[in-house]
Amino acid sequence: MTYWKDKVAVVTGASQGFGKVLAQQLIAQGCHVVLAARDEDKLSAAAAQLDADGKQTHCVPTDVTNDDDVVNLLAEVRQKYGKLDALFNIAGVSSRGLVCETSIDEFLCSYDLNVLSTVRCVQAARPLLEASRGHIVNMGSLASKSASKFIGPYATSKFALAGLNHQLRLELADAGIHVMLVCPGPIAREDAGTRYAQQTTNLPDSAAKPGAGVKVKAIDPQTLAATVLKGCEKRQTEIVMPGKARLLFAIAQLSGAWGDWVLRRFTSS
């Protein structure tokens, strides 16, 4: 029997990308997964692909930037399952651009989806997670720790998420809730290198590349998902992939100038 057998998990951003991969692995290990995402058609298609007989999944179309949607999501979890063992806050948004040329609305959009959505979900899920002494997993990035150029709104929001994660970890420890931050480099995907083309027409070529040109190997989403689930079992506080990025973080803490130098050396032009 696996650790996840008969547990109940909520995965936001579950209709595509890493959220879908994570849901797939949870289902394979016997977990009941509540799939949440904005696009109802994509969500239904993902559920049909992941769980053909529908015995292990439940779809709840959810905009995590909407208070009522999030409250409804957790109400459905309580009604259908009566418990919650894990909340995976995977939904998020990334973008490219110069800080001085990015609108305040774009900053607010990034902050709402990458940070405040986590606050909404945690607040709504807390009573159920306290009862189960469950898990909260927040999807950060290497940009939660150190960021290359041209990702201002994204890096700003991911740094904020790291701070939020730390606060949650401290505040919820006495309640027995495990809180973990996941900080991966660029995750392999089919549209890597082209998804930011329209946002980077007036920027260097590196801006459109995964990680805005940081020279790290793309991470296999299946490997990352397995690492995340194992991290929950071990109740780790943080996952960083690739692990060697921790060296950059340590250098940057000692000297911002040194950290910037290392970052430039490992960023393509």
Q: Which residues are tagged catalytic?
A: 154
Q: CA-CA distance, 101 to 26, in Å (whole number)?
A: 41
**Secondary structure of the chain in the HEC alphabet?**
CCCCCCCEEEEECCCCHHHHHHHHHHHHCCCEEEEEECCHHHHHHHHHHHCCCCCCEEEEECCCCCHHHHHHHHHHHHHHHCCCCEEEECCCCCCCECHHHCCHHHHHHHHHHHHHHHHHHHHHHHHHHHHHCCEEEEECCHHHCCCCCCEHHHHHHHHHHHHHHHHHHHHHHHHCCEEEEEEECCECCCCCCCCCHHHCCCCCHHHHCHHHHECCCCECHHHHHHHHHHHHHHCCCEEEECCCHHHHHHHHHHCHHHHHHHHHHCECC
